[in-house]
């Protein structure tokens, strides 16, 4: 059965290779086969390859066709209410787990949780008391709840998972010793030309873009809220755009309260995250 499926995928891919490569950034035969095979196992062979192939040719992202995406150590449900989990966000998990373990961090917030991948992956892989998942999108909060349910047996019984619908940290009264975030960080006017057409067509603009004129003000308010909600000595870790992390680090440095502000590069040497602490 599996080898029949693999043969079908190979035949389909090779006969549409250049179209598929132009429609789907980063897709290759190996990835396509692996994702469909994994999904076939997850669904106990209920998938219809012909339907998948037709949707791929229409340009729809594979993750939205399958309704799932593998992230870090497991499958998460995805839909068009938020971003498809990205490979590079796995790096934020690795850094977050290091910080959590080294500093015995227990109370965590994931701001702009989307499908819940960051907060839920940390909850599964660290010894935490609580994780609060927040997003401005009702659809994203619903999706995070579905993913929490999907992963319920991998979540330690002792960790409390809360959900909050709102703008950044508005309406939250709790304090955290670690705030982590992958917020929208692409400048709508300056950066949009570099974004792949598939992303523009299928993923929600609110998950990706901020208006250029409002960019710094958006992050200033966010950083001020982060300071208000971190316990003294608490940690902040955020994914950002390589072209704008320097200005965001400077902005953070201009506020009273942050220390140890560092920009962290990814494995290709591109600036990818900002990490900082609230003064103790």
Ligand X SMILES: C[S@@+](CC[C@H](N)C(=O)[O-])C[C@H]1O[C@@H](n2cnc3c(N)ncnc32)[C@H](O)[C@@H]1O
240 binds ligand X (CB under 6 A): no
Taking the C-alpha atoms of residue 14 and residue 267, their distance in angstroms, rounded to an integer, is 31
Task: Pick one of 56, 118, 226, 238: the residue that binds ligand X (CB under 6 A).
Answer: 118
Residue 194, sorted as left (phi over 0), alpha (psi -120 to 50) or beta, turns out to be: alpha
**Considering the complex, what minimum distance in angstroms separates the CB of residue 63 from ligand X?**
11
Q: Which one of 61-69, 97-105, 121-129, 176-184 is the stretch in contact with ligand X (CB under 6 A)? A: 176-184
140 binds ligand X (CB under 6 A): yes
Site for ligand X in 17-56 (CB under 6 A): none
Alpha-carbon dihedral angle through residues 253, 256, 260, 261, given to the nearest 10 degrees: -30
Phi/psi of residue 224, each to 5°?
-65, -40
Q: Are residues 116 and 81 in contact, defined by beta-carbon separation less than 8 angstroms?
A: no
Task: Pick one of 9, 27, 56, 83: the residue that binds ligand X (CB under 6 A).
Answer: 83
**Two structure tokens written together for 180:** 């982590």
Which residue of this chain has its Cβ atom nearest to ligand X in the complex?
Answer: 114
121 binds ligand X (CB under 6 A): no
Q: Which one of 58-66, 93-101, 105-113, 271-279 is the stretch in contact with ligand X (CB under 6 A)? A: 105-113
**Two structure tokens written together for 166:** 């709102």
DSSP single-letter state for residue 279: -
Q: Which one of 93-101, 131-139, 224-232, 264-272 is the stretch in contact with ligand X (CB under 6 A)? A: 131-139
179 binds ligand X (CB under 6 A): no
Taking the C-alpha atoms of residue 77 and residue 68, their distance in angstroms, rounded to an integer, is 4
Residues that bind ligand X (CB under 6 A): 82-83, 85, 89, 111-115, 117-118, 134-137, 140, 167-168, 182-184, 206-207
């Amino acid at each position: 059965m599996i080898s029949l499926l693999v043969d079908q995928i190979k035949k389909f891919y090779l006969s549409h290779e250049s179209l598929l490569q132009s429609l789907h950034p980063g897709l290759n035969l190996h990835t396509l086969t692996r994702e469909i095979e994994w999904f076939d196992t997850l669904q106990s062979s209920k998938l219809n390859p012909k339907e998948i192939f037709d949707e791929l040719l229409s340009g729809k992202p594979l993750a939205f066709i399958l309704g799932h995406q593998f992230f870090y150590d497991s499958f998460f449900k995805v839909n068009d209410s938020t971003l498809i989990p990205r490979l590079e966000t796995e790096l934020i998990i690795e850094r977050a787990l290091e910080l959590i373990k080294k500093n015995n961090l227990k109370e965590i917030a994931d701001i702009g949780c989307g499908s819940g991948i960051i907060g839920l992956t940390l909850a599964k892989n660290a010894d935490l008391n609580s994780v609060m998942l927040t997003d401005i999108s009702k659809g994203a909060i619903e999706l995070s709840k579905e993913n929490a349910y999907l992963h319920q047996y991998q979540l330690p019984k002792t960790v409390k998972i809360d959900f909050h619908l709102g703008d950044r940290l508005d309406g939250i009264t709790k304090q955290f010793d670690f705030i982590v975030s992958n917020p929208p960080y692409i400048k709508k006017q300056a950066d949009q030309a570099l974004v792949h057409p598939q992303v523009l067509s299928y993923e929600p603009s609110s998950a990706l873009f901020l208006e250029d004129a409002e960019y710094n003000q958006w992050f200033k308010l966010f950083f001020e809220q982060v300071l208000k909600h971190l316990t003294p000595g608490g940690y902040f870790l955020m994914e950002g755009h390589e072209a704008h992390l320097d200005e965001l680090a400077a902005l953070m440095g201009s506020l009273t309260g942050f220390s140890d502000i560092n920009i962290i590069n990814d494995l290709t040497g591109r600036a990818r995250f900002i990490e900082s602490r609230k003064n103790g």
